Amino acid sequence: MLFRSLIAVAALAANALCADVPTISAKGSKFFFSNGTQYYIKGVAYQLTSDDPLVDGNQCKLDSALMQKLGANTIRVYHVDASQDHSSCMTTFANAGIYLFVDLDTFDTQIDPTTPSWNQTQLSLFEKVMDEFQKYPNTAGFLVGNEVLTTGNNSVAAPYVKAAARDIKAYRNSKGYRNIPVGYSAADIPALRPMLQNYLACGTNASEAVDFYSLNAYEWCGNSGYQQSGYSELEANATGYNIPIFFSETGCNKPEPRTFDDQSAIFGSDMSKTWSGAIIYEWIQESNNYGLISYGPSVAPTAPNAPPDGFTRSGTPTPISPDFDNLSKQWATVSPAAVSENAYSPSLTPPPCPAYTAGNWEVNGDVALPTLGQTYNQQIQASITGGSAAASASATPSSTSKGGASGNVEITGMGAGLSGLLFAAMLWL
């Protein structure tokens, strides 16, 4: 009992330390701090292991100090344990001016695109993550899924993603929580553009739409440009979008070194009036070679007492040169076209719901969303593809213009990488 009381006191003290941190909300197509200034995301993906990275206060202090030097104001975390105490890390990041986008799903609660489901077990576990992180002022947003849809055929899972957003938003509101935005992180699949983006925001009922949309895109590689990379196409698809949109993963790593030249487009005149920034993949160096820092030299995974996959995942972070400095310089020089919240009166309306397109988009218009616990079967599939509501418009999938990498890189990168790491960690332990 005494131990629990001490934890409660520590949590209250931690919250008091960051009580003056402005919160984040979505208004129209933009994010704003509670002080009225526009929030642009300069973020890094922060998942040191398959376990929760926000429970080691000392490690968070070491990392946050270097993130400040980088110029980061945001982290994205993919998997957390809602039963743990996160007050030390969240307070450390808050005091460093760093905000959090956290995925609500886990390895066993994510929506399966082949046999989609959305049930009470999944919702309850999503709720626990929201319960834990809603109390921190530097929680910027929640994600109901990451790269659930990766082909046109499994677009039938899109209504389940939207149902998850509907129910977790309803839970947020029923609990009287701060209006923390709820969104989705999509793989950059040309066949799904712009249908998925439009579908998650469409409809006349805002309670069923996501509050923001984000994209994992690795199109701008090496000596590319706004047109050559395909960023101009992403901008065209997002122009007029009624909710915030940003890159939830980006940072092509071929060829080396990483120059991050795309940041000047994202935060410049080409895109900053539409896009709300970018999260760079990723903080830690591991076998996929996307890291901005390392915690020491790698060793053979088969060596005695070697960490999972041979990469040390804690300690004093050391910048990887020249990538770390290249990104820091990019962020230090950008100047996005920000607007104050008082001066911003959004007039954008939701996009039309895309109609069925065989092989590319198999959801016909503004279909009725699955109810909680509804079993996916042929009848449900037919109602999704046939449309239980009138289709309002069709959308044509956009062509691709890659700079050398694609969203598929991270389908096998982040997803398989964490799964492999989880297996390796189990063996190591």
**Is 147 assigned a catalytic role?**
yes
Whole-Å CA distances, 89 to 15, 213, 248: 11, 26, 21
Task: Please tell me the distance from the alpha carbon of residue 322 to that of residue 282, in angstroms, as a whole number.
Answer: 15
Given the structure tokens 């029923």, which residue do they identify?
174
Residue 358: CB atoms within 10 A of its CB come to 9
Helix, strand, or coil here: 24?
strand
Identify the CA nearest to 207 among candidates 248, 172, 176, 156. 172
Q: Which of 127, 132, 233, 249 is catalytic?
A: 249
* Burial of residue 205, with CB atoms counted within 10 A of its CB: 0-12 exposed, 13-18 middle, 19 or more buried: exposed
* Burial of residue 227, with CB atoms counted within 10 A of its CB: 0-12 exposed, 13-18 middle, 19 or more buried: exposed
Whole-Å CA distances, 150 to 192, 371, 405, 409, 412: 8, 23, 15, 11, 11
Task: Please tell me the distance from the alpha carbon of residue 24 to that of residue 31, in angstroms, as a whole number.
Answer: 7
Q: Which of 127, 147, 282, 286 is catalytic?
A: 147
Looking at the DSSP bridge assignments, the partners of residue 32 are: 25, 38
**Is 410 assigned a catalytic role?**
no
Phi, psi of 319 (to 5 degrees): -60, 140
Give, for 328, the enclosing helix (H) or strand (E).
helix 323-333
User: In 30-178, where does DSSP find H-type helix?
Assistant: 57-70, 87-95, 120-133, 158-174
Task: Please tell me the distance from the alpha carbon of residue 196 to that of residue 199, in angstroms, as a whole number.
Answer: 5
Task: Please tell me the distance from the alpha carbon of residue 174 to that of residue 176, in angstroms, as a whole number.
Answer: 5
Task: Please tell me the distance from the alpha carbon of residue 354 to that of residue 368, in angstroms, as a whole number.
Answer: 14
Task: Please tell me the distance from the alpha carbon of residue 341 to that of residue 263, in angstroms, as a whole number.
Answer: 24
Report the catalytic residues: 147, 249
